[in-house]
Amino acid sequence: MKELIIKYKSVIKFILTFILVYAALSFSYKLYLDASVDDKYYPDYLTNLVAKQSQTLLETFGYNATIEEHPNEPSMKLIINNKFVARVVEGCNSVSVIILFVSFIIAFAGKAKTTFLYILAGSVLIYVVNLLRIVILSVGLYHYPWRREELHTVIFPMIIYGMVFLLWMFWVNRFSNIKKANV
């Protein structure tokens, strides 16, 4: 047994680090959500911000967009030209995806400064791509409402998770200590 642990030490370290970081960040995020009962930023600050920024981007692209609080659930209604097209819920704010991304990068950490900068740049990129994803999805739902399932459950998750996967692969092959240990 000891030989197996020694042989797979880097794998075990990765798994444990990933689980601990993911659990700590997820728990912290849950505490944030539980504490963010605020009438000013419904349903929570980050989701509200994403909805407002999505509205601004839609308006930039020439659409008459509005957002309003959903009366029956904790979300923001996204409306284009008086047509309700999408709900911006807590899961749309990209925090959960960023937590997943950060956990992986820390589990495959490189030099501290490089790791920090990559986490910062990757998180900003994920956030921006997520905003664009919401905008494109909303426009798609406005013009092609019969494609709702394909757009929301296949194409747009593939974009965000595909990008995260590419960021992970770039990190592992370019900056992580694991690559250096195996050279």
pLDDT band at 178 (very low <50, low <70, confident <90, very high): low
Q: Is the pLDDT of residue 179 over 60?
A: no
pLDDT in tens, 65-121: 999 998 888 899 999 999 999 999 998 999 999 999 999 999 988 899 999 999 999
How large is the average pLDDT for residues 47-70? Answer: 95
**CA–CA separation, 50 and 63 (whole Å):** 17
Kindly state the average pLDDT of the residues 1-25: 90
Which of 124, 117, 126 is closest to 171 using CA atoms?
117
Residue 170's DSSP bridge partners are none
Q: Read out DSSP for the chain?
A: -HHHHHHTHHHHHHHHHHHHHHHHHHHHHHHHHHH---SSSSS-HHHHHHHHHHHHHHHHTT--EEEEE-SSSSSEEEEETTEEEEEE-GGGGSHHHHHHHHHHHHHT--SHHHHHHHHHHHHHHHHHHHHHHHHHHHHHHHH-GGGHHHIIIIIHHHHHHHHHHHHHHHHHHHT-HHHHHT-
CA-based R_g, the chain, Å: 19
Between CA 101 and CA 96 the distance in angstroms is 9
Q: What pLDDT score does 71 carry?
A: 86
pLDDT band at 38 (very low <50, low <70, confident <90, very high): low
Give the pLDDT confidence score for residue 183 in this predicted structure.
Answer: 45
In the structure, what pLDDT confidence band is assigned to residue 64 with cuts at 50, 70 and 90?
Answer: very high
